[in-house]
Amino acid sequence: MKCPYCSYNDCRVLDSRGTDEQTAIRRRRECNKCKERFTTYERIEEAPLLVIKKDGTRELFNRNKILNGMLRATEKRGIELERLEKVARDVEQELRNRMEPEIPAQEIGELVMEYLLNLDEVAYVRFASVYRHFKDINKFRQELDRLLENN
């Protein structure tokens, strides 16, 4: 590891620990020449995950888009941000575990709805109404009836 202060190529690790989310390793280091201390982070380099949109275009997966959609669906529902962030992380992890480099946006939306159904039924219906483009009250009612049948 190269020292950011004097550019010397040798340093020692003083302390290593995982970050709060366990997505990286934080290391405190000390340069063997100038004795300055600095912190480095090691992260796993993940392969890009592409989303295939309805129109066939592709874009990089963005967990924040899922989080923003869930925030709108859960507005005034009293659901903590930490729970929604965990759902977004869980959705991303499930998608990455499939080991598929490209995933249709429709599959992502359906997966988010599965998680929301377990989290909050009202948020699920809100998300589904936007995601599935309910054009009239009958489509909305069909979804509510389906929900009520499963309970």
Domain residue spans of the chain? 11-43, 50-150
Query: What pLDDT, in 10s, does the model give residues 34-72?
Result: 999 999 988 877 788 999 998 999 999 999 999 999 999
What confidence score (pLDDT) does residue 62 get?
94
What confidence score (pLDDT) does residue 65 get?
94
Please, what's the b/e burial string for 56-72 (b: 16 or more CB within 10 A of its CB; e: otherwise)?
A: eeeeebeeeebbebbee
Low-confidence ranges of the chain (pLDDT < 70): 132-136, 151
Q: pTM of the predicted model, to two decimals?
A: 0.63
What confidence score (pLDDT) does residue 95 get?
94
CA neighbor of 124 nearest in space, from 133, 113, 109: 113
Residues with Cβ within 8 Å of 117's Cβ and at least 6 positions away in sequence, in order, are 124, 147
Please give the Cα distance from 91 to 94 (Å, whole number): 5
What confidence score (pLDDT) does residue 149 get?
80
Query: Which spans in the chain are helix H?
Result: 63-73, 81-97, 105-119, 121-131, 137-150
Within 10 angstroms of residue 20's Cβ, the number of other Cβ atoms is 8
What confidence score (pLDDT) does residue 31 get?
96
What confidence score (pLDDT) does residue 126 get?
86
Contact criterion met (CB below 8 Å) for 79 and 120: yes
